[in-house]
Amino acid sequence: MTKKEKVQFVIDTLENIYPETLIPLNHKDPYTLLIAVLLSAQSTDKGVNKITPILFAKADNPYDMVKLSVEEIREIIKPAGLSPMKSKGIYGLSKILIEKHGGKVPQSFKYLEELPSVGHKTASVVMSQAFGVPAFPVDTHIHRLMYRWNLTNGKNVTQTEKDAKRLFPEELWNKLHLQIIYYGREYSPARGWNIENDIITKTIGRKSVLK
């Protein structure tokens, strides 16, 4: 199989398994998505979805969020882990959104990545899923699968993102990154992985992974 054929096999297989892709984090607008994605760092989507209804009942916009103290935010989000950093980030970015962006989440990688606790991956998720701008956020699932599929060298997430953007058509990025995440969780997890259930890796994976 050529690399081009491998890429097409991935696209076709994922589209067959996941024709519809819902964003796994509950949200209602760009701001609540931004907060949910920030909370998801080193946490599970399921865990975040338990916390956000409690947080958003008190504050689902930056104006209400800054009325809470960092300590109050921290207490609510504690189950998501890294609460000291995340609570400061949520309060800080809410303040900046009010002061610099009229309380709106900016539709810009540059301005998003300037916000506290917002890295390139978080900005990419918001740009792709809130604003429909082509992006390819790379999480641990995508990084792992791109390596297993021999479509990147696995050196770092930056390289994996470059390779994904180079190999896959831009018009598919926003849907495809979610499809890969769903596939990774269901068929190609980091632990308890059964190669027999993982049709993509079994078909196109690197030999070192298949042993």
Q: Do residues 21 and 178 touch, judged by C-beta distance below 8 A?
A: yes
The yes-or-no answer on residue 121 being catalytic is yes
Q: Tell me the CB-side half-sphere exposure of residue 172, using CA atoms within 13 A.
A: 17
Domain boundaries, the chain: 3-21+136-210, 30-131
Nearest to 180 by CA among 21, 37, 26, 4: 21
The domain made up of 30-131 has a fold known as: Endonuclease III; domain 1 (1.10.340)
Q: What is the pLDDT of residue 209?
A: 77
| Secondary structure letter of residue 170 according to DSSP | G
Distance CA 157, CA 42 (A): 15
77-119 pLDDT per residue, tens: 999 999 999 999 999 999 999 999 999 999 999 999 999 999 9
Mean residue pLDDT of the chain comes to 96
pTM: 0.91
Q: Find the catalytic residue in 45, 95, 104, 139.
A: 139
Structure tokens at 77: 């989000």
The yes-or-no answer on residue 46 being catalytic is no
Alpha-carbon distance values, 41 to 85, 100, 163, 184, 195 (Å): 11, 25, 23, 17, 27
Q: Directed axis angle between helix 173-187 and helix 140-148, to 10°? A: 80
Distance CA 67, CA 116 (A): 18
Q: Is the pLDDT of residue 211 over 70?
A: no
4-58 pLDDT per residue, tens: 999 999 999 999 999 999 999 999 999 999 999 999 998 999 999 999 999 999 9
Q: Which CATH code for domain 3-21+136-210? A: 1.10.1670.10
Q: Find the catalytic residue in 6, 60, 86, 121.
A: 121
